[in-house]
Chain A
Amino acid sequence: MTAPLNISRRTFIKASALVVGGLVIAFSIPQAKRFLLPGAAKETGNAGEATLPAPNAFLRIGTDNTITVMLAHSEMGQSIWTTLPMLIAEELDADWSKIRVEHASASPAYLHTAYGIQITGGSSTTWSEFDRYRQAGALTRQLLIGAAAEQLGVPAANLKTENGFVISGDSKISYGDLAEAAAKLETPKAVTLKDLKDWKVIGKATKRLDGPEKINGTAVFGQDVHFDGLMTAMVARSPVFGGSVKSFDASAAKQVKGVQQVVQVPTGVAVVADNYWAAKQGREALKVEWDLGPNAGLDSKAMLEDFRSKAANPGLVAAQLGDSKATLSKADKLIEAEYALPYLAHSPMEPLNCSVRIEKDACEIWTGTQMQTTDQQAAAKILGLTPEQVKIHTLFLGGGFGRRANPAADFVSEAVHVAKAAGVPVKTVWSREDDVQGGYYRPMYLHKAKIGLDTNGFPAAWEQVTVGQSIMLGTPFEAFMIKDGVDATSVEGIADSPYLKEIPNYHVSLHTVKTGIPVLWWRSVGHSHSAFVMESLIDELAHSAKKDPLDYRRALLKGHPRHLAALNLAAEKAEWGKPLPKGVSRGIAVHESFGSFVAQVAEVSVDQGAVKVHRMVCAIDCGLAVNPDSLKAQMESSISFGLGAAMQSEITFKEGKVQQSNFHDYLVMRMSDMPKVEVHIVQSTEKMGGVGEPGLPPVAPAVTNAIFAATGKRIRQLPIGNQLA
């Protein structure tokens, strides 16, 4: 039997750090100037130069020469466990084999340099930490050189660093041997970063540092947390969102072997047991009478009809230029189309879970979270503690895709309530059914577009109405993400479309619908629906104008060099225009999101209504590619995630209840569905963008545009499902 995993391991890490002592770098870096969301600093009251947090600790050098990098962000597959250490290693001239990595605790020291809270999201980790982590490495290197200079009695200017050593002529001292002396020196006030021509690590394809432990089963996820006395709980929740417990009978549940307690919490009734199996059986034996509340009649088909009737009239204006109405009335050709996309669950492979231990004036939480700050605040509020009294241990996330960054802190708050009510340490675990039916979905959207073409076949006027729920409403981000009633994430990719910039008359508007269904950002947020609509519409226009879809885009995007670079590279690598095997057709799409520009060409065949995607060719301009291999992996990942949603996934409601429950009816990509994927990187020195999400938006339209090329049928509603059968 192996020892209990992560607690002993973490304790060991802590103990070994104390034993080896060494250098702790403490310093403050002003927040990043780029990509600052308006009002972010003011909104949180934490970021900004005036309220700089306590000195940070980003790396630790042990006397055994190990360099431990503390991650301000969470590793959920996107490979920042490797990318952020690369930034430090570059400036530190570290020995890569000596790098160790840890998730940092929840602390003001680790606030996002642009967003002002501790968060992993918005495809922002690498660009937002690009300076801070390099500076951490460079400052440390200066301190080590300073210590070596004192020790050797030579001027610092005569010393150089290489692979974990400070070198003076023929002699060299390891970083570990210098660590204690360096820790006593004053931190430099300024630091010079390497010129990019001197980079040895940044830009080089680098293998994942978390690879070995994820291959041999020792990586610790939230689900794997175990320590003596930790109970497992499952919560019976209302089958309808917004419902509440009328009464419950726990007598049968308490008869189940291993069930210890049944307690009521705000979200339902928790069965607390020795293990998952007992908790699950106990929950099945539990009898709860529910007041289903105001949403018992929810029906997504009826909702879509409601969306459709709303779309008949313009909503609140999101973007406007010229006189679209007058232009449309005299357009050479008129295109009208309606597009719809369903609710979607994130369904990360690791079901949600959170372990909580409450002690006097303290609380410890072990979970995989993308948003430590709000989780910490929520737990503190429930327990009457200060945030500092709540310690969050971030474990590896078995996928996030946005679900584990919830401003409502739903799964953490619930787990805290359970542990509080039970009076013992508890790991609250969700089943897959709980996950699929538990909400915080990508919202359902409907779009109605009316576009007038000029005599050359190019758009002269564009009207578009979007209908859907707001993701930001009611969150702390509302104040700066919703302007004049328009949630920026509902219309991103539309209101700021590069195509609209080339059109003299447009009108983009939004109806924000309120329902009882909890919604949340889902990988690529608003772009997950807007790119499908915009890139499909452009394709419709190209075909209507009898122009090649690639040439048509090139003509409209001639003032947008980064779009063009991605588009041209994808087209070139896919050999656009070259004949394909019989029955196979191509579709193309390009979209900007999170500061990156991605184009994709899909090769698709349709056989008796069955769609087969054979190959996806992807090109991205994200500016500098810090780790080209993990960038490629993120494109592969986004293509898989996007294909699943395009082809099969949907959450629907009937009589208030979610109709899907597990992977047999909430369908996602599997090996046999996966096409060949080729990823090509635009060599770029432009501003850095993200890579975790931008690969997703063009997937669906590239595929449906290929389906149109193959069959002449325009897919205007996702998922594609059996629409071609």
Chain B
Amino acid sequence: MIILNINGKEEKLDVSDDMPILWALRDVMHLTGTKFGCGMAQCGACTVHLDGEPIRSCVTPIAAAVGKKITTIEDIQNDKVGQAVQAAWSEVDVVQCGYCQSGQIMAATALLTSNQTPTDADIDAAMSGNICRCGTYPRIRAAIHAAATKLA
């Protein structure tokens, strides 16, 4: 039995400790906002925060999260920056198929938490690990700038 702190709540999970956080969230906790895209940290669809840092949950075993706080898309509206990012996503109407957007929003929230005035180069560096096959990149960029302006 492993105890994880997920979105501020202590949860007990009866799974082996090498299970990636992604599958503990999705298949055990049924928190399906976090998505499976590649399984090898190549696409960012599975991005969650571990103590506020963006991580690829598809390759991070739950053992690595013990004693730390996992935050997912389901709880990001309770974060001031996360809320601003979601509002900007809505304002710019970023999404298309939407499948990668949880990961994009988690990555953008982490970026804006550590850097309140990201340049385009900062956005490239922070967001290039998150693939969007619909190509919403120009709108993601615009939304990150818009959220930065709101947060300033």
> Interface on A for B, CB 8 Å cutoff?
1-5, 75-79, 207-208, 210-221, 223-224, 226, 232, 257, 274-277, 280, 347-351, 396-401, 431-433, 629, 633, 636-641, 662-664, 668-672, 674, 676-677
Contacts and interface: CB of A to CB of B under 8 A. Distances in A.
Contacts, number: 189
* Residue with the highest number of chain A CB atoms closer than 10 Å, among B16, B29, B72: B16
A639 B135 contact: yes
Contacts of B40: 432, 662-664
A280 B23 CA distance: 11
Contact of B105 (A215, A396, A639): A215
A637 B27 contact: no
B32 interface: yes
B113 interface: no
Contact of A396 (B11, B31, B98): B98
Contacts of B38: 432, 662-663
A671 B30 contact: no
Given A213-B98, A672-B124, 18 more contacts: A1-B11, A2-B31, A77-B97, A208-B95, A211-B89, A217-B32, A220-B32, A223-B32, A226-B30, A275-B23, A349-B35, A349-B97, A349-B100, A349-B133, A399-B133, A432-B43, A629-B93, A674-B135
Contact of B128 (A77, A217, A220, A670): A670
A663 B37 CA distance: 10
28 contacts: A77-B98, A79-B96, A207-B93, A211-B90, A215-B86, A215-B105, A216-B86, A217-B33, A218-B33, A219-B98, A223-B35, A226-B32, A277-B27, A349-B97, A349-B99, A350-B97, A396-B99, A432-B38, A432-B39, A432-B42, A636-B136, A662-B42, A663-B42, A668-B131, A669-B137, A671-B127, A671-B140, A672-B124
Contacts of A433: 39
B74 interface: yes
Contacts of A219: 98
B42 A399 contact: no
A395 to B, nearest CB: 11
Interface core residue of B35, B38, B134 (most chain A CB under 10 Å): B134
Contacts of B11: 1
B69 interface: no
Interface residues of B, number: 60
A677 B131 CA distance: 18
Nearest to B98: A214
Nearest to B103: A349
B70 interface: no
A208 B139 CA distance: 14
Contacts of A670: 128-131, 137
B124 A398 contact: no
A3 B138 CA distance: 35
B73 interface: yes
A636 B36 contact: no
Given A217-B74, A398-B97, A349 B45 contact: yes
B95 A214 contact: yes
A72 to B, nearest CB: 19
Contacts of B23: 275-277
A671 B34 contact: no
B20 interface: yes
Nearest to A208: B93
Nearest to B96: A77
Interface in B46-74: 72-74
Contacts of B129: 670
A664 B42 contact: yes
A216 B74 contact: yes
A645 to B, nearest CB: 11
Interface string B107-144: 00000000000000001110111111111111111000
Nearest to A432: B38
A217 B99 CA distance: 9
B29 A1 contact: yes
Contacts of A274: 27
Most chain A Cβ neighbours within 10 Å, of B94, B100, B132, B133: B133
A430 B102 CA distance: 20
A181 B105 CA distance: 46
Contacts of B37: 349-351, 432
B145 to A, nearest CB: 13
A672 B134 contact: no
B74 A2 contact: yes
B151 interface: no
A213 B140 CA distance: 17
B77 interface: yes
Contacts of B130: 670-671
Contacts of A396: 97-99
A663 to B, nearest CB: 4
B117 to A, nearest CB: 18
A641 B133 CA distance: 7
A251 B34 CA distance: 33
A575 B123 CA distance: 28
B2 interface: no
B86 A399 contact: no
Contact of A398 (B20, B35, B86, B137): B35
Given A77-B97, A210-B95, A640 B137 contact: yes
B124 A401 contact: no
Nearest to A213: B98
Contacts of B124: 671-672
Contacts of B132: 349, 640
Contacts of A232: 27
Q: Closest 9 A-B residue pairs measured CB to CB?
A: A217-B33, A640-B135, A398-B99, A214-B98, A77-B97, A77-B96, A217-B73, A275-B27, A224-B32
Contacts of B139: 633, 636
B96 A674 contact: no
A350 B131 contact: no
Nearest to A226: B30
A224 B25 CA distance: 11
B87 to A, nearest CB: 9
Contacts of A397: 97
A664 to B, nearest CB: 5
A369 B39 CA distance: 23
A348 B135 contact: no
Given A77-B97, A223-B35, A637 B105 contact: no
A5 B32 contact: yes
Contact of B99 (A221, A275, A276, A669): A221
B150 interface: no
A663 B130 CA distance: 11
B19 interface: yes
Contact of A348 (B32, B89, B133, B136): B133
Nearest to A676: B138
Given A275-B23, A641-B135, A633 B96 contact: yes
B137 A674 contact: yes
B26 interface: yes
Given A216-B86, A347-B133, A399-B134, A211 B95 contact: yes
Given A207-B93, A212-B90, A401 B133 contact: yes
